[in-house]
Amino acid sequence: MPQKVFENFASGGGMVLKMQEIKNQICDICAKMWQLGWVAANDGNVSVRLADGTFLVTPAGIGKSFITPDKIVQINSASETIGETDYRPSSEIKMHLRCYQDRDDIGAVIHAHPPTATGYAVANKALDGYTMIEAVLTIGSVPVTPYGTPSTHEVPEAIAPYLQEHDVLLLQNHGALSVGADLLTAFYRMETLELWAKISLNAHLLGGAVEISRENIERLCSMRGQYGMSGRHPGYKKYPNGGS
């Protein structure tokens, strides 16, 4: 993974990208989200933490396929806009800022509605079957966080208890959230989540998935360091009641 190329905040240890390059990356990720069917209309939002502690955020009220670099909004930690702009930051910015506040290893946040994963969120079913090698290795189990009204403080409060162990979350009756040290990593995690959800649903239709042995699950988890994987991992953790 070319993570060094995509580092975008001071503590990441990689090359610090110029503002315009980061804006271009955000637009590219937004276009991919739309092309993959993860968002419709004005759904979804993306943010990146900059080296100076400010943030670049997708604007409110604009479909992801229509976002251009000039529409990206820069804000501070109080959600105040920096510089002249005709656009407002995403209404979900409180959720993003909570991620950055609680974990200094997070450099980017993505919120989307990938349809199969969001189906699990709507059904209040955690993706906690340790059934697919790649998902076990990269993200582990994914809980469903309690319901929160969008754009309010309910959502940040709902996700907070899970952030220390998880890089990917399902938001009850809402969608999904992924975080990463950089924007590409956050995108990859959302992509892994949706593919795993599709495979899990297919396995269910075929009579049910067969879980990997506990010994091999632990072996896979121990290999994260060998592959240089960043972020958090829950280890072996089940959520029989969605997120509890």
Taking only the tens place, the pLDDT of each residue in 171-212 is 999 999 999 999 999 999 999 999 999 999 999 999 999 999
Count Cβ neighbours within 10 Å for each residue of 53-84 and write b for 16 or more, e otherwise. eebbbbbbebebeebeeebbbbbeeeeeeeee
Residue with the two structure tokens 């699990």: 120
CB 93 within 8 A of CB 136: no
- Whole-number pLDDT of residue 243: 75
CATH architecture for the domain at 3-222: 3-Layer(aba) Sandwich (3.40)
Taking only the tens place, the pLDDT of each residue in 213-243 is 999 999 999 999 999 999 999 999 999 887 7
CB 152 within 8 A of CB 94: yes
Give me the chain's average pLDDT, please: 92
Question: Is 0.85 surpassed by the pTM of this model?
Answer: yes
Rounded Cα–Cα distance for residues 56 and 244 (Å): 33
Rounded Cα–Cα distance for residues 190 and 150 (Å): 19
